[in-house]
Structure 1
Amino acid sequence: MTVQIDDVRAALSRLEGRIRHTPVMRGDDGVWFKLEHTQHAGSFKTRGMFNQILAAGDLPAAGIVAASGGNAGLAAAHAARELGVTAEVFVPETAPAVKVAKLGKLGAKVVQVGREYAEAYAAAVVHASSTGALFCHAYDDPNMVAGNGTLGLELVAQIPSGFDTVLVAVGGGGLIAGVIAALHPAARVVSVEPETASALHSAIQAGAPVDVPVSGAAADSLGARRVGQIAYEMAVAAETPTVLVGDDAIVDARRRLWDDYRLAVEHGTAAAYAALTSGAYVPAPGERVVVLLCGANTNPADLV
């Protein structure tokens, strides 16, 4: 199951007027940043969630149900509010308080279950089945992937001089699959994961998606126990390089984004930049690199 660029183009048309076309910024070292953390509800997932819901057509009276470490739930809550339907979001008990509070502000009913995303996911699937609500997958859905990929089409228009590589933080894989659909083979798409939550890297090594242990600073947003099938198949087909970064590098990169650019992002987002700042990914001379900053649902208190 793969998503094609025509699917991404269709999503871009469907989403017109519902998403922000987020800006790009040139860093001091020549690296480009795609500021997707300024998207509605604070992350890229708003693109995919809107597209997934709109593509479903008429919605059931029970509304929508989503499972999330936080960001997909926020996107679901935002989209549901804008479309005038109810949203129920299942999150793990470890979800950051800032994300849980924001879910409530957006009008969603929040249910906290288990310690990991996988447990919240299982409970959400059962609930959707029993109520008839539309279950909106956080990453392994073709319409979710296509919607996420629209930011790749924006990048092409925003950087007319071109770019060679995009560094993408990976959890369940819905973002990187969309970026691959939009940009491969014209640009190289590189997966960046925490050493302690390496679902895509482990899947590629194993030859299929496998369960992995999840922990670390970025587990709230990159904590999928198993990468999605769509992302796995597309990453393998595109021969996507995978890079792993440690917690210390992620924390340091997040701090640098604040100190150097006053960009407040979550740890999972900072993982993409950590690939560069830690030396885990070393660009070739002249290589034009884009770092995708994908989410900002974080407590900024520890940045000052």
Structure 2
Amino acid sequence: MINSNALETATRRLHGRVRSTPVLDTGSVLYKLELLQHAGSFKTRGMFNKILAAAERGLPASGIIAASGGNAGLAAAYAARELGVRAEIYVPETAPPVKVAKLAKLGASVTQTGHEYAEAYAAAIVRSEESGAVFCHAYDDADMVAGNGTLGLELLDQASFDTVLVAVGGGGLIAGVVAALNGKKKVVAVEPVTARALSAALAAGAPVDVPVSGVAADSLGARRIGRIAYETAVETSLTSVLVDDDAIVEARRHLWDEYRLAVEHGTAAAQAALTSGAYVPAPDERVVVLLCGANTNPSDLS
């Protein structure tokens, strides 16, 4: 698990570079509005920390490379632009057009290849070895996880709560949040039934490949959980629940109808744990739903 020193270092690095995102208290549930982060997701925290840490060791002229279903690429492109670093992003051909268009606007070089994140990842690794650019893993990297963990530390200062619900793909967010809140608050992992890398790993006793599909696959579609997230989950006996596509779609619609919050399907998975009954809080339990990304096409919400 990421230690407190790494979290404190990340907090110092990110000061003035990322937004302190607000918490919305609806009376029945709290929402951490990380969808308001630069580039539209929590991943900007991790990518800034990764690139800044690499810069301390000396960045090559070829800059950075990242593979992404969309959000990690957007975060890498944004952070690289702000730091004056060249960025090359590999995304699957199935990445949402809204995310691909934003990558180009941020000045990154974009290559689309394969139908899943895993294929884009493999191509990016080859390119990184050829060019010498620093590879920025979307989730299984200590600097990425520590940067994401600053969100948890921020949340502790903002609100009084008992539990936080976190959507899980590759595990870079939940590993950071658990590290920040360990021993202080309960963290619940929420995964789509059709992209259940964490729960499959916990059942198997090690990270394993899983089939990936469903409405949230573009952001939660990691074929295998990251090593850091898996080890963190085992060490802390992390609670995990599953939600289906119908529940995710309904939760996304609920967030729009009730609060005018336009979130991507992967983000809505955390809300789906509540609206579907996959997670039932105790009567006096104060729950935070972490809304981690906004990179969606809102045309189907109206």
TM-score of Structure 1 vs Structure 2, range by shorter chain: over 0.9
Q: For residue 134 of structure 1, report the CA deviation from its aligned partner.
A: 0.5
**Which runs of 4 or more aligned residues in structure 1 lie more than 6 Å from their structure 2 counterparts after TM superposition?**
none
Alpha-carbon distance in 1 for matches of 2:283, 2:245: 27
Residue in 2 that maps onto 1:14: 13
| Higher mean displacement: 170-179 or 5-14 | 5-14
Q: Equivalent residues in 2 for 1:287-302 (5 A)?
A: 287-302=285-300
Where does structure 1 lack aligned partners over 5 or more consecutive residues? none
Indicate the SS of the match to 1:166. Answer: strand
Q: Equivalent residues in 2 for 1:1-304 (5 A)?
A: 2-28=1-27, 30-56=28-54, 57=56, 58-159=58-159, 162-304=160-302
Deviations 1:172-196 (A, max 9, x none): 0000000001001210110000000
Q: For residue 9 of structure 1, report the CA deviation from its aligned partner.
A: 1.6
Matched AA of 2:142? P
Fraction of identical pairs, as percent: 73
Q: For residue 8 of structure 1, report the CA deviation from its aligned partner.
A: 1.0
Deviations 1:14-57 (A, max 9, x none): 100100000000124x2110000000000000000000110112
Alpha-carbon distance in 2 for matches of 1:178, 1:146: 6
Alpha-carbon distance in 2 for matches of 1:228, 1:298: 25
Deviations 1:71-100 (A, max 9, x none): 000000000100101100000000000000
Alpha-carbon distance in 2 for matches of 1:263, 1:237: 34
Alpha-carbon distance in 1 for matches of 2:26, 2:289: 10
Indicate the SS of the match to 1:107. Answer: coil
Alpha-carbon distance in 1 for matches of 2:178, 2:233: 8
Alpha-carbon distance in 2 for matches of 1:223, 1:5: 29
TM-score normalised to structure 1 length:
0.98
Q: For residue 129 of structure 1, report the CA deviation from its aligned partner.
A: 0.5
Q: For residue 6 of structure 1, report the CA deviation from its aligned partner.
A: 2.3
RMSD, aligned CA: 0.6
Where does structure 2 lack aligned partners over 5 or more consecutive residues? none
Indicate the SS of the match to 2:164. Answer: strand
Aligned positions, number:
300
Q: For residue 103 of structure 1, report the CA deviation from its aligned partner.
A: 0.2
